[in-house]
Amino acid sequence: MTFKVKSARPEAKKVLFVTGTRADFGKMKPLALAAVSAGHKVTFFVTGMHMLRRYGLTKIEVAQVEGVSRSEFVNQREGDSQDRILAETISGFSAYIAEERPDLVVVHGDRVEALATALVCAINYVRCVHVEGGEVSGTIDEVYRHCNTKLCTAHLVSSVDAARRVVRLGETPQSVFVMGSPELDAHSKPSGVTIESVRERYEIPWDDYGIAILHPVTSESDTMSAQAQAMFGTLAASGRRFVVIAPNNDPGSASIFDVLEKLPSSHFRVIPSMRFSYFSELMRHAGVMVGNSSAGVREAPFLGVPSLDIGTRQTNRSIARSITTAQASDSATIRHFLDKNWGQRFSPDTAFGAGSAAERFVEILNGEALWALPKQKQFFDGEPASQAASQVAS
């Protein structure tokens, strides 16, 4: 894959990407490849779910990226609490950057690994940029996301709305760059695989299917079993077939796995994880998408696939026309959504970008504005946020 980018800075930079899940890796990979093409030295710090066999041991996908280095770190055992994972990641990453001293660290979103590594960078005055800050959603994720905003040097946001929120949090407009969502870069192009090869590789026996993904909501861990039983029970009663992607490893995932293990194989194919290009192709041909994954409110609308957003995890994140909302227990709304929307297509929604984030990333990386930002941060309090947001770096 090649990118048309401006010439690299005279001095190539050491850029370190932190990845803890299959989801954030899908967003980081286009940026990393673009940085490599521009002549920068790129390394992945691989940790989190990537290192756990139950979740597909997805560190293998990172290892297949050409032109980058990687360092692997086991930061948890299955069942560890979030605070314990936070502490382990801080310890391991602190030792790593003390030796490597990257010029720039790139973290994404709202996971505990991003919080830990951004904190280490802040304490050690290492420049750190935050991808997709300034967004709103449900659960503890929102707390992590806004904490990362305050810890990081600069912000690569997906939309103007997100930029405004970052400025409201006291970040200087000069530190905010509207980039778009990087995973849309891959979705905007052919996946490179056929749906037949996807079905063969992942043993999917149907050509008419929906996608279902239900992640745990940490603040609702005591009800996740009931939510999973309700949602998947309604899907089973519909008679439709679904490809189910396993949940992440947040507290409450065990109760979801208990439900998944009892689903009939005649109507459900449960997969621990998928390669990004294969998942992209799977989405393009899906009848619908159901659950609480960010893919349902960001990637599905971009591809025009109708999605049903379940529960509170993605609350207020998107208002795309292709999205319907419901609680897991609302079987009537779920059934109506399936009957009305199965196989329909909407116009692509570009609220989170149009698929050019990687090129924009290299423009930022090669420019002067990012590197001119002071490492000592100050709270921006000089202008109304509504005015200051219009001045974000261009």
Per-residue tens of pLDDT for the chain, all 394 residues: 444 444 444 589 999 999 999 889 989 999 999 999 999 999 999 999 999 998 889 999 999 999 999 999 999 998 899 999 999 999 999 999 999 999 999 999 899 999 999 999 999 999 999 999 999 886 778 899 999 999 999 999 999 999 999 999 999 999 999 999 999 998 999 999 999 999 999 999 999 999 999 999 988 989 999 999 999 999 999 999 999 999 988 888 999 999 999 999 999 999 999 988 999 999 999 999 999 999 999 999 999 999 999 999 998 888 899 999 999 999 999 999 999 999 999 999 999 998 999 999 999 999 999 999 999 999 998 665 454 445 565 4
The answer to whether 199 and 392 are in contact (CB under 8 A) is: no
**Strand-pair category, 154-157 with 128-131:** parallel
Q: Under a CB-based contact definition with an 8 Å cutoff, are residues 104 and 127 in contact?
A: yes
N-term to C-term CA, the chain: 26
| SS3 sequence of the chain | CCCCCCCCCCCCCEEEEEECCHHHHHHHHHHHHHHHHCCCEEEEEECHHHHCHHHCCCHHHHHCCCCCEEEECCCCCCCCCHHHHHHHHHHHHHHHHHHHCCCEEEEECCCHHHHHHHHHHHHHCCCEEEECCCCCCCCHHHHHHHHHHHHCCEEEECCHHHHHHHHHCCCCHHHEEECCCCHHHHHCCCCCCCHHHHHHHCCCCCCCCEEEECCCCHHHHHHHHHHHHHHHHHHHHHCCCEEEECCCCCCCHHHHHHHHCCCCCCCEEEECCCCHHHHHHHHHCCCCEEECCHHHCCHHHHHCCCEEEECCCCCCCCCCCCEEEECCCCHHHHHHHHHHHCCCCCCCCCCCCCCCHHHHHHHHHHCCHHHHCCCCCCCCCCCCHHHHHHHCEC
Q: What is the pLDDT of residues 181-218, one digit of tens each?
A: 999 998 999 999 999 999 999 999 999 999 999 999 98
Q: Length of the chain in residues, anyone?
A: 394
Q: How far is CA 85 from the centre of its chain?
A: 19
Burial classification of residue 170, based on how many CB atoms lie within 10 Å of its CB (0-12 exposed, 13-18 middle, 19 or more buried): middle
Domains observed in the chain: 14-187+354-391 (3.40.50.2000), 195-341 (3.40.50.2000)
Q: Are 337 and 288 in contact (CB under 8 A)?
A: yes
- Smallest CA-to-CA distance from 257 within 51, 109, 78, 77 is with 78
Q: Which two tokens stand for residue 267?
A: 């109507």
CA–CA gap between residue 75 and residue 86 (Å, rounded) = 8
CA angle 304, 308, 312 (to 5 degrees): 125
